[in-house]
Amino acid sequence: MSATTAGELLSFDREHLWHPYTSMTEPTPVRLVTGATGARLTLGGEHDGREVVDGMSSWWSAIHGYAHPALDAALVAQAGRFSHVMFGGLTHEPAVELGRRLVDITPEPLERVFLADSGSVSVEVAMKMVLQYQRGRGRPDRTRMLTVLGGYHGDTFDAMSVTDPVGGMHSMWQGLLPPQVFAPRPPGAGAAADEIAAWATTLRHVADQHHHELAGIIVEPLLQGAGGMWPYPESCLQVFREIADEHGLVLVFDEIATGFGRTGHLFVSDLVTPDILCVGKALTGGYLTLAAVITTDAVARGISASESGVVMHGPTFMGNPLACAVASASIDLLLAEDWTSTVHRIGDRLSAGLEPLRILPGVRDVRTIGAVGVVQLDHEVDVVAATGAAIEAGVWLRPFRDLVYAMPPYVISDDELDVLVTGIGAAVQAG
Ligand SMILES: *Cc1c(COP(=O)(O)O)cnc(C)c1O
């Protein structure tokens, strides 16, 4: 260990390091992490050695918890062979093995894998593929994406263009982003059939109006994540599929958050198959940044028929062997356990624990899906107060907008879940 004190680390951090969505000049507090194992983070500095239960899985990614022996071993083994080589003109076993697994565990028609270096980049690649596919089919005028309000697809420019234009974090970019076509977001999970039908009619109408310029549809299937933690009915997925088919649009499911079991389905795409699937976040069990775009053969053929004939994209760290090796190990680990029961166990305990919060003043809604629990307030959360109260209760949470929510690592124990629920309650009352 270096001799640098916690105070010195935090003070350099405060002066020099940007944090996500955080002011450089008026930063909100950050906590120093000195260790992480299982479903717990160890905090340093003022919290000197205190362990907190992690409710965030490091933004949906650490599904197996921290310092998992199997993932550590996969990483070390690959580092002992080689850590990286370019993917242009070269290939390697970690990439092939991961590709094989992704083709195996995703629905049958999805069989062509593009490895990207982050979720946002995979969305860029998917959108580029959609445009190239339409060009390959002789429809260069099809340049816009249809999506729904309330979505989140990443922070790069094309990804921002399909993210919610009002509630999203990107409203200031209006005018600089490629103009996309937005329809209302689906009604919430449990909506009545006539409400779903009315939404579908509106979506159809928007698609009809714009069909001559539409290239594809992109949505987060079943659960909108960072756009508002909004689960919606399964039957809406079929509506996206039908509209895509009616108008010759490429259907993209962004499962960067929902993939790898989080909603109770290994992939939501197992319910309704898209033409392009983006996965990321939990792909490497939260160890390293990696995402994948998986397409049908028809999409690959369409792209090949476009002017350039190739996907014009190739990140320096494409197919990084360390990331691929740990991703394969993470997938093997997930499939080797009874992940469905685990996700249900977590979901049941979260909903039983959170339901009583519904009657608290300031609480607008409580909702759960899979291993995700959400408390929506009737006001913007005071993030500093809510985070502080959660840590006091022994829990790490990162609320946003009007939402206090959790999607813990699947390895979380029942006792830790009870602590987590208490922490959410404390955050709700403080925030
Ligand atoms: C997090 C997220 C992204 C962006 O992924 P990054 O790895 O942060 O670039 C895109 N889409 C969805 C649905 C996400 O949850």
Please state the pTM of the whole predicted model. Answer: 0.97
Check residue 174 and give its pLDDT.
Answer: 77
Check residue 169 and give its pLDDT.
Answer: 62
Tens of pLDDT, residue by residue over 348-396, are 999 999 999 999 999 999 999 999 999 999 999 999 999 999 999 999 9
Catalytic residue (choose from 66, 164, 232, 281): 281
Establish whether 133 is a catalytic residue.
no
Name the residue at shortest CA distance from atom 11 of ligand 1. 153
- Nearest C-alpha neighbor of 427 from the set 398, 351, 22, 365: 398
- Nearest C-alpha neighbor of 40 from the set 418, 423, 411: 411
Ligand 1 site, residue 220, Cβ cutoff 6 A: yes
3-state secondary structure of 298: helix
3-state secondary structure of 179: coil
Check residue 172 and give its pLDDT.
Answer: 83
Distance CA 13, CA 30 (A): 9
Q: For residue 305, what are its two tokens? A: 């028929």
Ligand 1 site, residue 280, Cβ cutoff 6 A: yes
Establish whether 410 is a catalytic residue.
no
26: which residues sit within 8 A by CB, 6+ positions away? none
Query: For residue 263, with 0-12 CB atoms within 10 Å meaning exposed, 13-18 middle and 19 or more buried, which class applies?
Result: buried
Long-range contacts of 157-165 (CB under 8 A, 24+ apart): 158/123, 158/124, 158/127, 158/128, 159/120, 159/123, 159/124, 159/127, 162/123, 162/127, 162/218, 163/227, 164/227, 164/228
Query: 256 CA to middle of ligand 1, Å?
Result: 6
- Nearest C-alpha neighbor of 36 from the set 12, 64, 11: 64
Establish whether 48 is a catalytic residue.
no
Catalytic residue (choose from 152, 232, 405, 410): 152
- Nearest C-alpha neighbor of 233 from the set 265, 192, 278: 192
- Nearest C-alpha neighbor of 44 from the set 55, 58, 33: 33
Name the residue at shortest CA distance from atom 7 of ligand 1. 119
Considering just the CA atoms, what is the radius of gyration of the chain in Å? Answer: 22
Distance CA 60, CA 176 (A): 30
Establish whether 254 is a catalytic residue.
yes
Closest atom, ligand 1, to C-alpha of 118: 7
Q: CB-hemisphere CA count at 13 Å for 244?
A: 25
pLDDT per residue as tens, the chain (431 positions) = 457 999 999 999 999 999 999 999 999 999 999 999 999 999 998 998 999 999 999 999 999 999 999 999 999 999 999 999 999 999 999 999 999 999 999 999 999 999 999 999 999 999 999 999 999 999 999 999 999 999 999 999 999 999 998 876 667 887 889 999 999 999 999 999 999 999 999 999 999 999 999 999 999 999 999 999 999 999 999 999 999 999 999 999 999 999 999 999 999 999 999 999 999 999 999 999 999 999 999 999 999 999 999 998 999 999 999 999 999 999 999 999 999 999 999 999 999 999 999 999 999 999 999 999 999 999 999 999 999 999 999 999 999 999 999 999 999 999 999 999 999 999 999 99
User: Are 70 and 272 in contact, with CB atoms under 8 Å apart?
Assistant: no
Check residue 168 and give its pLDDT.
Answer: 62
Closest atom, ligand 1, to C-alpha of 257: 15
3-state secondary structure of 134: helix
Classify the C-alpha dihedral 342-346-349-351 as positive or negative: negative
